[in-house]
């Protein structure tokens, strides 16, 4: 597919702004950036976006991904893939699916309940990660041909340097609700300790891979299931198990003994598990 770049857009320039003027600086950048003012925070979302951030969240301490990215100097890592794939001549491409555009609006923080807010955040991040992973593929030498943003089907279809076509299904794993509830309790200075199974995260990871595999079942070309795990969840839930080889791709099974026989009937499926660090996938 044709790439669109916006090398001169202020959102792609490294910036770091800290202080009370953060929202005002973001407003100025947004006014000149189609990725921000047409996709992430369009005019119908902008008033609520401003109002929410003028009243700091004292319970979950949630803040916009975009604002945090700008404050920490990597806003371009969040907006770059949207510029590349969804913007043409300063406007959203006309063939982008409307539901996809709706899903990319950053309004997850408007939910009053922090748990629901966390759920909406995972959904928003899942869409964003698809585009970021596609961009990462191209940086590795792949050529992206089509995205789920433009039609129903696999999240990404791309060609390797040897011309072989591959379909990718991307799953994002953020902070699960029980873990987030513990974080909220800790922030409120309430008892937050609880026993945690080391096996459940591996079972959950296998379930997400199987989910991706079923979605790829009808695809005739090479297939790869991708799981992108947020950094904090990686450290707290997956690092020990995956570093220790608990996830056996050659003989996938739930603990202790329930084997997914149907899983491996999907011959030729590849698996990629990665951490998400500062807005970009990082292969492990």
pLDDT(233) > 80? yes
pLDDT(77) > 80? yes
Question: 5-9, 73-77, 169-173, 272-276 — which is least confidently predicted?
Answer: 272-276
49 contacts 107 by C-beta, under 8 angstroms: yes
Q: How many CB atoms lie within 10 A of CB 256?
A: 6
- pLDDT-derived band at 142, boundaries 50, 70, 90: very high
166: nearest Cα among 212, 220, 211, 127: 220
117: enclosing H helix or E strand: helix 114-139
255 contacts 203 by C-beta, under 8 angstroms: yes
Give the rounded percent of residues in the chain with a pLDDT score beyond 90. 56
- pLDDT-derived band at 258, boundaries 50, 70, 90: very low
d(CA 229, CA 191): 27
89: nearest Cα among 124, 38, 52: 38
* Cβ density class 31-61: b for 16+ within 10 Å, e for less: eebbbbbbbbbbeeeeeebeebbeeeeeebe
Instruction: Give pLDDT tens digits for 197-214.
Output: 788 888 888 889 889 999
9: nearest Cα among 75, 68, 67, 72: 75
d(CA 52, CA 224): 39
Going 108 to 197 to 212 to 139, the CA torsion angle's sign is positive
pLDDT at 269: 61
Mean pLDDT of all residues in the chain?
Answer: 86
pLDDT at 266: 44
Which pTM does this prediction carry?
Answer: 0.85
d(CA 55, CA 273): 37
Q: How many CB atoms lie within 10 A of CB 91?
A: 10
Instruction: Give pLDDT tens digits for 27-60.
Output: 999 999 999 999 999 999 999 999 999 988 888 8
d(CA 280, CA 77): 7
pLDDT at 242: 82
User: ω into residue 256 within 30 of 0, thus cis?
Assistant: yes
- pLDDT mean over 127-154: 96
129: nearest Cα among 17, 216, 212: 212
174 or 243, which is more confident:
174
pLDDT(281) > 80? no
pLDDT at 256: 63
The angle subtended at Cα 71 by Cα 12 and Cα 235, nearest 5°, is 100
Q: How many CB atoms lie within 10 A of CB 133?
A: 23
- pLDDT mean over 194-198: 73
pLDDT at 143: 97
Residue 172 burial class via C-beta count within 10 angstroms: exposed 0-12, middle 13-18, buried 19 and up = buried
Domains of the chain: 1-110 (no CATH), 125-284 (3.40.1350)
């Amino acid at each position: 597919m044709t790439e669109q770049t916006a090398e001169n857009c202020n959102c792609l320039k490294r910036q770091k702004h800290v202080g009370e003027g953060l929202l005002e600086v973001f407003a100025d950048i947004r006014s000149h950036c189609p990725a921000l003012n047409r996709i992430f925070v369009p005019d119908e979302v902008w008033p609520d976006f401003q109002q929410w951030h003028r009243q700091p969240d004292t319970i979950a301490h949630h803040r916009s991904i975009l604002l945090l990215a700008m404050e920490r100097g990597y806003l371009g890592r969040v907006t770059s893939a949207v510029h590349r794939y969804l913007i043409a001549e300063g406007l959203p491409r006309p063939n982008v699916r409307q539901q996809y555009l709706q899903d990319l609006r950053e309004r997850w923080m408007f939910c009053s309940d922090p748990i629901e807010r966390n759920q909406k955040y995972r959904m928003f991040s899942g869409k964003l990660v698809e585009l970021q992973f596609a961009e990462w593929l191209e940086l590795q030498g792949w050529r992206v041909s089509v995205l789920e943003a433009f039609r129903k089907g696999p999240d990404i279809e791309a060609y390797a340097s040897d011309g072989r076509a591959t379909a990718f299904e991307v799953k994002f794993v953020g902070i699960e609700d029980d873990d987030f509830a513990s974080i909220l309790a800790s922030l409120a200075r309430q008892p937050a300790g609880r026993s945690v199974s080391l096996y459940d995260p591996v079972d959950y990871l296998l379930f997400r891979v199987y989910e991706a595999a079923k979605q790829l079942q009808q695809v005739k070309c090479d297939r790869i299931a991708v799981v992108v795990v947020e950094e904090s969840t990686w450290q707290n839930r997956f690092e020990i198990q995956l570093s220790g080889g608990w996830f056996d791709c050659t003989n996938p099974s739930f603990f202790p003994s329930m084997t997914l026989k149907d899983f491996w009937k999907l011959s030729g499926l590849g698996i990629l598990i990665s951490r998400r660090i500062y807005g970009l996938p990082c292969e492990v």
